[in-house]
Amino acid sequence: MNKNIAVIKGDGIGPEIVTEAMKILDRTAEKFGHCFSYEQLLMGGCSIDVNGVPLTDETIERAKAADAVLMGSIGGNTSTSPWYKLPADKRPEAGLLKLRKSLNLFANLRPAVLYSELKDACPLKAEIAEKGFDMMIMRELTGGLYFGARETREIDGVMTAVDTLTYNENEIRRIAVRAFDIAMKRRKKVTSVDKANVLDSSRLWRKVVEEVARDYPGVSYEHMLVDNCAMQLVKDPAQFDVVLTENMFGDILSDEASMITGSIGMLASASLNDTKFGLYEPSGGSAPDIAGQNKANPIATILSAAMLLRFSFDMDKEADAVEAAVDKALKDGYRTGDIMSDGMKLVSCSEMGDVIAANI
């Protein structure tokens, strides 16, 4: 099959980790007889440096025209980088939010899995890590606080900032349907996370999730308050299968979930619209402190490329092969610095890519 992949390497460790994911895609194409072509696009800080804005309209159009988008990471050090002297809507993150919105990528899938080989890197107590976990965080990605009206102004001589949290029932329904569909292919359990004891948007969220749940009698579901969920993730992560939640809660909970997998460098993600199109990126950030040193963990980006093969190209065998190749690299003891433990083999970002490619 011929496919055109738009590639946004981005900032910080982005170029290094995406280069490894492309190495894996090329190896997969070679092995399974496909042809992937890439078009490199600029977004984030690198786009600010070249174009003066984090995302141009032309980049949006070119991303739309591709079969899928593979992304690294964007942004820099928020205290020292000149990008953060710009107005908020000109900063690197604004480009990412605009791209998500323009491509209608409302469903963000963030799988958090504890690999048995990485139990030592898991910061939880041994008896909790021993049970392992395998959850899919389904984060709504184009609504809520991220996209509501906001302003900062003086009211009666007092500086006042307002952010607005809005959800309509259609936005809630489409992500809930996705979550239940995915649960059907997994362990058939949905935990919908909200703050219904305080927020109106959460009360509507609950009502709509209950309506959707009626169409899925085979899936068990529960509601959980977000503060409780934050606790349960460290107390008993094995209880979760699909975690369905709104944009901001999903941002926070997915970082927490990634940390208990041992490293944020392990967490892949897919952002999907209502077609086969998607944007695939690691959940972690641009890690400016280790950028350019060939130290970053490319596994999250490689696993994101596997999700791209599975969700956008319907290439299940190919995606399985990539995931198995990552498993084997970990079983064989290869580790980047973030997941290193005694007796393992420390490798660089590019060496990890080589090892995984050789396993395909």
Site residues for ligand IPM per CB under 6 A = 75, 93, 96, 251, 283
Answer with the entry of Mg ion, ligand IPM, none that 11 interacts with (C-beta below 5 to 8 A by kind).
Answer: none
| Contact call for residues 74 and 40 (beta carbons, < 8 A) | no
DSSP code, position 67: S
Identify which of residues 16 and 251 has a Cβ nearer to Mg ion in the complex.
Answer: 251
Minimum distance, C-beta of residue 29 to ligand IPM, in the bound complex (Å): 27
Q: Establish if 281 lies at the interface with Mg ion (CB under 5 A).
A: no
Q: How many other C-beta atoms can be found within 10 angstroms of the C-beta atom of residue 280?
A: 27
Minimum distance, C-beta of residue 137 to Mg ion, in the bound complex (Å): 11
Taking the C-alpha atoms of residue 182 and residue 339, their distance in angstroms, rounded to an integer, is: 29
C-alpha dist (Å) from residue 281 to 14, 47, 158, 195, 268: 10, 18, 40, 28, 6
Identify which of residues 194 and 251 has a Cβ nearer to ligand IPM in the complex.
Answer: 251
Output the residue with the shortest Cβ distance to ligand IPM: 93
C-alpha dist (Å) from residue 268 to 51, 182, 300: 29, 16, 5
Identify which of residues 141 and 183 has a Cβ nearer to Mg ion in the complex.
Answer: 141
The span of 6-14, 152-160, 246-254, 260-268 binding Mg ion (CB under 5 A) equals 246-254
Answer with the entry of Mg ion, ligand IPM, none that 175 interacts with (C-beta below 5 to 8 A by kind).
Answer: none
Identify which of residues 261 and 283 has a Cβ nearer to ligand IPM in the complex.
Answer: 283
Taking the C-alpha atoms of residue 102 and residue 58, their distance in angstroms, rounded to an integer, is: 12
Q: Establish if 93 lies at the interface with Mg ion (CB under 5 A).
A: no
Among 350, 292, 268, CA closest to 13: 292
Taking the C-alpha atoms of residue 32 and residue 23, their distance in angstroms, rounded to an integer, is: 14
Minimum distance, C-beta of residue 42 to Mg ion, in the bound complex (Å): 21
* Binding residue (CB under 5 A) for Mg ion from 67, 251, 318, 338: 251
- The catalytic residues are 146, 195, 227, 251, 255
Taking the C-alpha atoms of residue 290 and residue 348, their distance in angstroms, rounded to an integer, is: 12
**Interface with Mg ion (CB under 5 A):** 251
